[in-house]
Chain A
């Protein structure tokens, strides 16, 4: 199975900061990479799919990039509502796998 390595596992940031989270696949996955945001007690929410396509309604301060094995989720100008845990998911393989998550905290 394809392994997804996400980094960092947690980070401290302040409102207004630029934040970058990376996800590395153990083998090439083209652009079959998606990003989710989860807040405590809630289900994850899709932010970005196909590596760089923003889901409708998601603020434009979120962006995704990458292809092959290396991917990045960037949040420009972090807002209070953005403090959460972020996960990547690869859907290139017939068996989907998540990264281990990145907690963004104050």
Chain B
């Protein structure tokens, strides 16, 4: 049974960097397919952030590409998100996801990140 779990700070100050980790169990991220991050803004809109492949290849949302980095840690069966220079507009619930048999077919429970001083 594939399970994903997000971890990281729930509160980040404006202009600081946000780092989140997704721990995967029940499936090796080395095995292929892709892994990524989605966020849900306060108005409930879903926004695809980006995807990482086990070899480290990435695809990012063009609107965030300059601030976003997603990287795998195959030794820990985890992958991470880093979003630089956050503002209040980055306040959202962040979900990690795995696209194993179909796009976004496995999700973490989500973690609320608030950007505030």
- Inter-subunit contact B104/A95 (CB<8 Å): no
Chain A, residues 76-106, CB within 8 Å of chain B (1/0): the string is 0000000001010101001111101100000
Query: In the complex where A1-B62, A43-B95 touch, is A96 in contact with B44 (Cβ < 8 A)?
Result: no
B40-80 CB contacts (< 8 Å) to partner A: 44-48, 51, 59-62
Size category of the A interface is 20 to 34
Report Cα–Cα, A97/B62, bound state, in Å.
11
Nearest CB to that of B104 among chain A residues? A46
In-complex Cβ contact of B59 among A94, A100, A101 (8 A): A94
Task: Output the least CB separation between B4 and chain A (Å).
Answer: 9
Bound Cα distance A44, B38 (Å): 10
- Report how far A53 CA is from B101 CA in the complex, Å: 12
Contact B102–A101 (Cβ < 8 Å): no
Q: Across the two chains, which residue of chain A brings its CB closest to B109?
A: A43
Q: Which residue of B lies closest to A1 (CB)?
A: B62
Do the beta carbons of A44 and B104 come within 8 Å of each other?
A: yes
Q: How far is the CA of A36 from the CA of B38 in the complex (A)?
A: 13
Most A CB within 10 A of own CB, among B60, B95, B105, B110: B105
* Chain B residues bordering chain A, tally (CB within 8 A): 19
CA distance A55 to B114 in the complex (A): 33
In the complex, are the beta carbons of A44 and B46 less than 8 A apart? yes
Cβ-closest chain B residue relative to A43: B107
Contact with A along B76-117 (1 / 0, CB 8 A): 000000000000000000010000001111011110000000
Given contacts A43-B95, A49-B103, contact A100 B48 (CB under 8 A): no
Residue numbers in B under 8 Å from A45 (CB-CB): 107
CB contacts (< 8 Å) of A42 on chain B: these are 109
Q: Which residues of A contact B (CB under 8 A)?
A: 1, 34, 36, 42-46, 49-50, 53, 55, 85, 87, 89, 91, 94-98, 100-101
Residues of B within 8 A of A (CB): 44-48, 51, 59-62, 95, 102-105, 107-110
The 3 closest A-B pairs by CB, nearest first: A43-B107, A49-B102, A96-B48
